[in-house]
Amino acid sequence: MDWITDITMRLATATDLDPADLLVEAADKETLLDLAGTAAHSSGDRTNAPILCHVIGRALARGATLEECARVVGEFAGER
């Protein structure tokens, strides 16, 4: 296992959550990394990258899709 899978499994166990609800698929990892890069580069502040990923995680938990979030971020970054 890799680090992110290991920590995800530990978090799931510690919080009594189903690991399947927390594990990130390979394609989604790439999208999230791209979004983090966009946040850091378009804002000029790399600390926006993890915060954006947190915001997106909250949006996903409430029913948004990663594709929808990626589109909005891409459009916003293109406006700047």
pLDDT tens profile 40-66: 999 999 999 999 999 999 999 999 999
Residue 19 domain flag? no
**Exposure string (b/e) for 14-51, b if CB count within 10 Å is 16 or more?**
eeeeeeeeeeeeeeeeebbeebbebbbebbeeeebbee
Give whole-number Cα distances, 6 to 23, 42, 46, 47, in Å. 10, 31, 25, 24
Residue 60: phi, psi to the nearest 5?
-65, -40
Residue 17 domain flag? no
Residue 73 domain flag? yes
Residue 8 domain flag? no
Percent above pLDDT 90 for the chain: 95
pLDDT, residue 1, reads 75
pLDDT band at 79 (very low <50, low <70, confident <90, very high): confident
Residue 58 domain flag? yes
Domain that holds residue 69: 26-80
